[in-house]
């Protein structure tokens, strides 16, 4: 059996890519930090695929209360449910990838769950974002795919998962040897609520291209039976569906307002938005607008009947990065609906009462403002 893969280009030419070792362990570590989706989140949890947020590379691990750091973990991630995910990387050429790395990981996990203060983890995440010139709150909301996310609650969940030992340990290598595989499968079957898995990432190269093929190792039927769940995250309650949200809205508001809300929702769908229900205590509907290969959350609808135009979520988009551009939208809302907004709303979420949109004329006026906003975002993408 050949150890290669083949890519067929659009012009029907063939690129043969052969299996090869990573040039260095640092290269593999950098790829994981830059492209964390390589850690096969859909294989880790097929029902609710994991998304990874990098806290830090070379995360220090204290060995005592208040310690500055006795060890250094290759990567610390958290997933969207605040489950800390410890990643240790070894190339096949490093024979420690077979046994010693297991002892290292257990040291990191045993001490991390006791001595990692969540505030230190949060501050490290903020430093990581600062290096990449990203706003940490914005990066976290994007990771959670929820513009209404309660960030304090998220960090509390990280802390709670740590203290409960609800963590994930991931061994990454270009070759997972049988000895390591057996250890990982044994630990994963025995440990609860912690999860232990290995990820083999095969590296192929040819004609200036790289291809990475991840394969999850360690998840066995026996481990799932013992744990009583396919994932340490499955106990989390599902989000409301769109229909669930409208049922709740009808109960809290009225049938007539629910009908108006449906008209707003239908317009969002008609213009190509994806609509989601946020996971907040009082969930809202949010329209997700795609432009180019990016997206933003420009409009929303809350359970209290407020229809939002979210200037705070578009102010870093080139079309609306100036105060004047956002102030123009604010002025259009004032003219159209007789509202008076404070100037600081150019960085906030000016709203229109849903009841005001019972008028077809008013509703179409708001849709026109939104459509112009969408067109400008997409044009300048």
Question: Does pLDDT of 222 surpass 70?
Answer: no
User: Which of 192, 227, 262 marks a domain boundary?
Assistant: 227
Q: Are 22 and 28 within 8 A, CB to CB?
A: yes
> Across-strand partners of 324?
none
Considering only the C-alpha atoms of the chain, give the largest distance between any 2 of them, rounded to a whole number of Å. 73
Secondary structure letter of residue 206 according to DSSP: E
Measure the CA–CA gap between 217 and 172, rounded to whole angstroms: 10
Q: Are 200 and 174 within 8 A, CB to CB?
A: yes
Q: Does residue 234 form part of some domain?
A: no
Q: Does residue 235 form part of some domain?
A: no
Number of domains, the chain: 2
pLDDT at residue 234, rounded to an integer: 46
Residues 212, 64 share a domain: yes
Average pLDDT, the chain: 88
Question: Any idea which of 64-68, 76-80, 139-143 has the lowest mean pLDDT?
Answer: 64-68
User: Which of 197, 227, 257 marks a domain boundary?
Assistant: 227
Residue 73 CA to chain centroid, in angstroms?
21
pLDDT per position as a tens digit, 16-32:
888 888 888 888 899 99
Taking residues 314-321, what's their average pLDDT?
Answer: 89
Look at residue 136 and give its three-state secondary structure: helix
Taking residues 94-105, what's their average pLDDT?
Answer: 76
Residues 257, 205 share a domain: no
Residues 99, 24 share a domain: yes
Question: Does pLDDT of 258 surpass 50?
Answer: yes
pLDDT at residue 236, rounded to an integer: 44
pLDDT per position as a tens digit, 80-89:
999 999 999 9
Taking residues 111-118, what's their average pLDDT?
Answer: 90
Q: Which domain holds residue 374?
A: 242-379
Q: Does residue 232 form part of some domain?
A: no
Q: What angle do CA 297, 300, 305 make, to 5 degrees?
A: 165
pLDDT per position as a tens digit, 280-303:
667 899 999 999 888 888 999 999
Taking residues 93-122, what's their average pLDDT?
Answer: 85
| pLDDT bucket at 230, cuts 50 / 70 / 90 | very low
Token readout for 10 is 């659009």
Question: Does pLDDT of 369 surpass 60?
Answer: yes
Which residues 6+ apart lie within 8 Å of 87 measured at CB?
Answer: 32, 39, 73, 74, 75, 76, 77, 170, 172
Question: Does pLDDT of 62 surpass 70?
Answer: yes
Residues 130, 87 share a domain: yes
Look at residue 13 and give its three-state secondary structure: coil
């Amino acid at each position: 059996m050949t150890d290669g893969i083949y890519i067929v280009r659009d012009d029907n030419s063939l690129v043969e890519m052969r299996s090869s070792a990573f040039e260095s362990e640092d290269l593999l570590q950098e790829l994981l930090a830059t492209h964390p989706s390589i850690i096969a989140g859909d294989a880790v949890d097929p029902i609710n695929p994991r998304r990874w947020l990098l806290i830090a590379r070379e995360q220090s691990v204290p060995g005592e209360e208040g310690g500055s750091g006795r060890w250094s973990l290759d990567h610390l991630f958290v997933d969207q449910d605040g489950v800390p995910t410890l990643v240790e990387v070894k190339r096949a050429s490093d024979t420690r990838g077979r046994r010693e790395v297991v002892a290292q990981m257990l040291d990191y996990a045993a001490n991390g769950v006791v001595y990692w203060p969540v505030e230190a983890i949060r501050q490290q995440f903020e430093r990581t974002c600062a290096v990449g010139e990203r706003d940490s709150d914005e990066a976290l909301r994007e990771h959670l795919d929820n513009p209404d996310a309660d960030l304090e609650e998220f960090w509390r969940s990280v802390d709670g998962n740590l203290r409960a030992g609800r963590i994930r340990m991931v061994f990454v290598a270009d070759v997972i040897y049988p000895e390591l595989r057996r250890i990982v499968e044994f630990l994963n079957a025995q440990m609860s609520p912690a999860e232990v898995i290995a990820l083999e990432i095969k590296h192929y190269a040819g004609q200036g291209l790289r291809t990475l093929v991840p394969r999850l190792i360690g998840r066995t039927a026996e481990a799932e039976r013992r744990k009583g769940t396919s994932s340490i995250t499955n106990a989390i309650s599902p989000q409301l569906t769109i229909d669930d949200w409208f049922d709740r809205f009808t109960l809290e508001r009225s049938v007539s307002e629910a009908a108006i809300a449906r008209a707003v929702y239908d317009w969002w769908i008609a213009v190509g938005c994806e609509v989601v229900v946020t996971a907040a205590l009082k969930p809202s509907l949010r329209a997700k607008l795609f432009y180019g290969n990016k997206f933003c959350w420009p409009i929303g609808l809350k359970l209290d009947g407020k229809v939002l135009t979210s200037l705070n979520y578009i102010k870093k988009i080139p079309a609306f990065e100036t105060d004047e551009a956002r102030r123009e939208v604010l002025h259009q809302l004032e003219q159209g609906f007789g509202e008076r907004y404070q100037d600081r709303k150019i960085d906030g979420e000016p709203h229109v009462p849903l009841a005001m949109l019972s008028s077809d004329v008013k509703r179409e006026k708001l849709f026109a403002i939104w459509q112009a906003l969408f067109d400008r975002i997409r044009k300048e993408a």
